Structure 1
Amino acid sequence: MRLMFTGSLLSALLVLLLVSSPLLADNKHSKAELEQQLQQLDPRIRIVSLQAAPLAGFHEVVLNTGDLLYVHEAGRYFFAGSLLEINDGQLLDLTEQARGKQRQQAIQSVPANEQVVFPATGETRAVVQVFTDITCPYCVRLHQQVPELNRQGVEVRYLAFPRQGEQSPGFQQLVNVWCAADRQQAMNRAKGGQRVAEASCDNPVAAQYELGRRQGIQGTPAILLPDGQLIPGFVPAQRLLSELGL
């Protein structure tokens, strides 16, 4: 699991929870009490949600960093990792399912007019959202699959993720696309190796980059399915259609 904390801070968090008095004995105040404890380590920490975990005796805690922790109801133990379940002979990653719901809510809240949208041809059968970077060769390969995906009823929406950071040439290239009068045409030109005129405007590139980082995105392309499932890296159109059940 990706953790936003430094190693020393995470160690301090473990010590704090081990020596603290029960945090969750009173459900009415449990969230506030736990948040107060965490803020002793870093005042920026906020609890986005706290609910019963699939594991008896534990609570699932989502922080504003995007991190997901499992905290014992007595407040003495916690772990940060994948919770797996054997169900009918299959191994299910319950933590990834929870993260998928988080991603679904966060990514789908981005307005369409802040994305670069390639609509389906005819009926829209599915919508996928892709964190992309102009300087990424595999993003170029995926973009070559977009016309076929559109023909099969899949709408592709791009979000910006300059993988080398906000000071990189890739950041400005994404800004150029988002600030173009015709974003679709600009994306096609950029992914085709053609120059897109440098531009400046009020744009969501930095915000989308930070959004991606909070969802654990580390590279591009990163494909988000409608249920929040994350597919890291390039996949051909036929495999993506199969993942979508089309």
Structure 2
Amino acid sequence: MKKLTMTIGIISSLLVSAAYASDADIAATLAKLGYTKESITISNTPMPNMKSVVTPSGKFYITNDGQFLTQGPIYNMSGKQPQNIANESNLALIATIAKDAIVYQAPDEKYSIYVFSDYTCGYCKKLHSEIDTYLKAGISVHYFAFPRAGLDSDVAKNMQSIWSVKDRKAAFDNAYRDGKISPASSVVPYVKMQYEVGVKLGLTGTPAIILPNGELLAGYVPANKLLEILEQTK
């Protein structure tokens, strides 16, 4: 019995060592791309011998030995419908900023979506001009800021002002109607946080819609089409 316990202990130690070695190999590979160990988050995936890495520039998938790296959706085909394995981690990222969204609540809510938006984006304006159509369809819309020109842009500063005032929704509506944006007396960090989450999600433009299952839709989707998509993912 003592020998068996010792053997189990040795195996456990080897497995732990292998896990640490794997993460070290992954960190070494990401260092070649300019990412420090502190700036990345390594997680397990359902795929054998492959992990996901969230970086300041988006998400990658990488083999445990750090030799092979890819980016983009990877689908699990074992179920009735293809399932993007990134969806779960997308929701985890959204959860870190969810409380700071500007929310348009549907009176008879069937679904909630998260939309990364920029008030200078034509299709973002189109989506917001139809906000009542989404709400009537039972789709609540939670907005996040994603200034396409980056955090040092005037757009980012203006979006910070929108998120800093007491009546955010009124300021948001005003901006999307091309109204003048007044500088806020104090600035909150929400826009920076939301932008960084958007980058980690791999966003390259706006609007970007996150569905309740974590699926990412790039671009404007009219309410009737979006409702069909939501029904299919139910």
| 1:60 and 1:68 in contact (8 A); partners too | no
TM-score, length of structure 1 as denominator length? 0.76
Partner of 1:210: 196
Separation of aligned partners in 1, 2:177 and 2:140: 20
Candidates 135, 140, 164, aligned match of 2:149:
164
RMSD: 2.6
The AA in structure 2 aligned to 1:33 is A
Aligned counterparts, 1:1-246, within 5 A: 26-40=14-28, 41=31, 42-44=35-37, 46-53=40-47, 58-65=48-55, 66-71=58-63, 75=65, 77-81=67-71, 83=74, 92=82, 97-112=84-99, 114-121=100-107, 123-199=108-184, 200-245=186-231
Tell me, in whole angstroms, the C-alpha distance in 2 between the residues paired with 1:197 and 1:27.
57
User: Matches of 2:66 and 2:221 in 1, distance apart?
Assistant: 43
CA distance in 2, matches of 1:166, 1:195: 20
> Is the 8 Å Cα contact of residues 22 and 66 (structure 2) preserved in structure 1?
no
What is the identity percentage for the equivalent residue pairs of Structure 1 and Structure 2?
A: 26
Question: Hey, what's the Cα distance between the residues in 2 that align with 1:46 and 1:166?
Answer: 20
- Count, aligned residues: 210
| In 1: Cα distance, 2:74 partner to 2:151 partner | 34
Q: Structure 2: state its 5+ residue gaps.
A: 1-13
